[in-house]
Structure 1
């Protein structure tokens, strides 16, 4: 059943217009993919996307573990690239290993699934829940490209959950957003299209270059901005205002640079 076919209750509440999609990056064990497909159907989700998946034998573990999800979720799973996920969705990556310092933004700040649910209640956007490999999970380079990070609270002596378990726990906690019987508060606003948000990041990157921001600080600054915008869920109007602001700033900085070149004057900020 597609998002558009999902009914709402008489009060206009019910599942979000855009239900989350579930993405699994380079799964190794077909049984885990089947478990995830089953959990998705349990909690009202049907859109499964796989990055570099193994082949699934119709008589193998994936279909065996999928239960009734073998009829729809699993056979309709779409193979995608990591780039496609980042470009088209508000992304939430899941990790069992977190940082506890604001100086390391690869895995900090992070949300629990319950906190993520409360956040997504307030905004309707195309969200991808991104899970990593069984052995290594998502690496730091991948996490840097995602908008938010989430982690399931567990015993600190052994915080790493099995891939299928992690997805099941997460989808259970998000069930208020995905099952038809749950009454939900009205959506406060719709998040701006991801393509426009990515354009903002491009403008911000150009701004860092035009303003001669110290190169050794740029990676951390880019990541901090992505995390900030990821939590803020900007609206169309907000992101368009930011695009206009940074477009104007970049044009002025470029014109300033051209004038300094014409006057053969040194730019005192370019150190």
Structure 2
């Protein structure tokens, strides 16, 4: 299997943000998903006691205070740029940049880029204007409901940063393997116990094979874990033992 190329460093750029809170929200999303470099074009004032730092969470400790201010000219001259927008309002006949990739397509697209990369977000109300889009290398648009496709700037940045996690996050709080299927040998023991259980509870003989097949199909779809299998084994074992005890008690009473 061929290893995926490692892209250049990924920076997040915010152009002419109107509210400090959105800058803080973007910094927090970056921190969540392994991004650390933030550059700002014509930013609002970021007061350490204001909403930008209030919304930034732990990103107030490093990403936000280390953010640098640059010009848009410098941005497009020094980075491979991906402009992010909620809607394009464009088609192949009327366009500035067409087509736009979706966020889930970004990792594959960027894996082949060996220069520094900037993920560029525009203004809260109008995003990136056409003159800016014309100078950007590629466009990414978030597919949202046609009835209300406009996303808050911080929401859009969170979606994009999440989709980039395969390139930026080394490990997460999730285990590498969320579901471990039990070994086939243990699963066969469970099937054997189920068949013994059917005998113990005196399930009608003509129906036992059908019940065993249904149980096998059920577990085949469920892919039980070792713990789930042990629990079922315990229940069947207890049911079998109690049935046997009940039968012996009945014989004694006679």
What TM-score do you get using the length of structure 1 for normalisation? 0.60
What is the Cα-based RMSD across aligned positions, in Å? 1.8
- Counterpart of 1:24? 14
Task: Tell whether the 8 Å contact from 1:15 to 1:178 is kept in structure 2 after alignment.
Answer: no
What does the per-residue CA deviation read over 1:4-48, in whole Å, with 9 as the maximum and x for residues that have no partner?
xxxxxxxxx799462310000000111100010011111111110
Aligned counterparts of 1:83 and 1:15: Cα–Cα separation in 2: 28
- Counterpart of 1:160? 150
- Counterpart of 1:151? 141
Aligned counterparts of 2:23 and 2:5: Cα–Cα separation in 1: 24
- Counterpart of 2:161? 171
Gaps of 5+ in 1: 1-12, 183-271
1:63 paired with 2:53, answer yes
Gaps of 5+ in 2: 173-254
Aligned counterparts of 2:65 and 2:5: Cα–Cα separation in 1: 23
The counterpart of 1:77, out of the listed 67, 92, 114, is 67
Q: Which has the larger radius of gyration?
A: 2
- Counterpart of 1:142? 132
Aligned counterparts of 1:144 and 1:92: Cα–Cα separation in 2: 11
Give the 4+ runs in structure 1 shifted more than 3 A: 13-17
What does the per-residue CA deviation read over 1:97-122, in whole Å, with 9 as the maximum and x for residues that have no partner?
22452233314110001112221123
Cα distance change on mapping 1:116 and 1:14 into 2, 3 Å: closer
Aligned length: 170
Aligned counterparts of 1:98 and 1:55: Cα–Cα separation in 2: 29
- Counterpart of 2:123? 133
Task: Tell whether the 8 Å contact from 1:94 to 1:129 is kept in structure 2 after alignment.
Answer: yes
Superposed displacement of residue 159, structure 1: 0.7
Aligned counterparts of 1:100 and 1:81: Cα–Cα separation in 2: 27
- Counterpart of 2:101? 111
